[in-house]
Amino acid sequence: MSLRDGDFERASSPVPLACLPDGPFYCGILDQMKLRKFFLRTAVMAATVTLLAVATVRAADTNANQDGFFGAVAKLFGFNPGGPNHFATPEPTPDKGPISSGTFRVTGNIDPGRQFHMAALLNDGKVLIAGGVGEQGIGVLFSAELYDPATFKFNYTGRMSEPRSVATATKLKDGKVLVVGGEYTTPEGFTQLLSSSDIYDPSTSTFSKGPVMSVARILHTATLLDNGKVLIAGGEDERGFAVSRTELYDPATGIFGLSGNLAYPCYRQTATRLADGNVLLAGGIDSTGYATDRAQLYDAKSGKWTKVGKMGTVRRFHTATLLSNGQVLVAGGEDNWGHTLDTAELYDPATQKFRPTGKMLSPHEKATAALLANGKVLIAGGFDGINGVTAECELYDPATGTFSRTGSMHQARENFTATRLPDGQVLVVGGFTFVLGQFGVLDSAELYQP
């Protein structure tokens, strides 16, 4: 995700004939031309500095609902981070009326559009959307928004202490939200991994700086344990290696402490808290740099990791969902040959083994999975490996072990979030689309009615 400066080739040019000793008149003309160019460059530089200064002043205004310096600069140069996404298919007007079962409807838009953001359901039923990568090149975001199901709208809330994307957001037992790790892009175009954290307090609608982990990481998992602590596992470090060190955030002390090392280092894995309080990590990318079929179990009482049975295939970019019967559904993903997978497996905590279950109707990677109130699992969007980013969705029924088609989203999307609301609907937000030549970061959101 890092941005790198382009390489520019400079060609040397010979000494112009007009500047030879016998050509003072022509040399004088060239001197005038150089002088004009000098003044032109100076004027351009002065204008640029003025624009940047104005942007800085605007960015300093905390009441301006801007995304900091880069958002202000983007607007000065004609980009509107809060406007419609010009790269994506226009969305219809938000629908607040009745909705048929098994269908999606459009709800309010986020501002700006974002992907690789974080989402957390709050105790009051609202959904916190934080950070991510903004639309139209405005970079990694500080900003956060709250979705209110009562009004079908998003509203600005507090800003994080640092811009971050590809982080985790975990609601704590006291209702606050812990946002951990991630990355941002520096003004010079380099990617900086984060070891820091932010804590969102819904009672004040503000973020405060949280404690710092022992290692900066992205693509990790964060799991709330039964004792109220948060387990931070795996991830990729600044050298591009899988992290073996795990950490525990303790709300009582407000700090991170070290826990046992993983049985195998990994990132892009899934983490699922089981009914007994232990945590299952499955798949991802291991220390070899390839997707793995391995899985491991965290014992919440001893703090130790042990290996469990392997999956039937290697997976990354997959989903994992705890079912009502205590088993874990692992679905889709990508293998080491770049194939998007349509297979699914069930992990049984009683045997600590995986077994195959029904295949999906279409391959899915970078999709989302949400457990519905009726016990079924909604697999939404992602990349299908055939047509690209997809809007298609499927339902897994644990009673039959099969997948069936359900309504498609209005927009194809990947790198988005899906959150089940208290009323049973599922809110999908933002992401990235690339369909039929139209592409871009999305500012749209949709509601699925089971």
Distance CA 287, CA 243 (A): 8
Give the model's confidence band at 95: pLDDT under 50 very low, under 70 low, under 90 confident, else very high: low
- Neighbouring residues of 5: CB distance < 8 A, sequence distance ≥ 6: 189
Q: What mean pLDDT is reported for the chain?
A: 84
* Banded pLDDT at 436 (limits 50, 70, 90): confident
- Whether residue 219 has pLDDT greater than 60: yes
Domains of the chain: 166-310 (2.120.10.80)
**122 pLDDT more than 50:** yes
The predicted model gives 293-302 an average pLDDT of 97
Select the more confidently predicted residue: 67 or 105: 105
pLDDT, greater one: 409 or 85: 409
Compute the CA torsion angle 162, 165, 170, 175 (nearest 10 deg). 50
Coil, strand or helix: which one is 207?
strand
- Three-class secondary structure assignment of 282-299: ECCEECCCCEECCEEEEC
- pLDDT single digits (tens) 379-435: 999 999 998 999 999 999 999 999 999 999 999 999 999 999 999 999 999 999 997
Q: Alpha helix locations (H) across 1-84?
A: 24-60, 68-76
For residue 348, what are the contacts with CB-CB under 8 A and spacing of at least 6? Answer: 327, 354, 355
pLDDT tier for residue 97 given thresholds of 50, 70 and 90: low
Pairing assessment for the beta strands 168-171 and 144-148 based on DSSP bridges: unpaired
CA distances from 142 to 68, 133, 157, 207, 447 (A): 7, 10, 11, 10, 25
pLDDT of the residue at 38: 40
* Contact between 222 and 178 (Cβ < 8 Å): yes
Q: Are 255 and 197 in contact (CB under 8 A)?
A: no
DSSP classification of residue 214:
S
pLDDT for position 64: 36
CA distances from 342 to 155, 172, 379 (A): 37, 34, 11
Local structure of residue 424 (DSSP, 8 states): S
Q: What does the block give as tokens for 258? A: 């070290």
Q: Write out the H or E segment, with its range, that includes residue 433.
A: strand 432-435
Using CA atoms, how far apart are residues 328 and 211, in angstroms rounded to an integer? 32
DSSP string, 384-404: -SSSSB---EEEEETTTTEEE
Chain position carrying tokens 């291991």: 286
Determine contact, residues 255/275, Cβ cutoff 8 Å.
no
**DSSP string for 108-169:** PPPSS-EES-EEEE-TTS-EEEE--EEGGG--B---EEEEETTTTEEEE----SS--BS-EE
Per-residue confidence (pLDDT) for residue 186, from 0 to 100: 82
Q: Are 381 and 368 in contact (CB under 8 A)?
A: yes
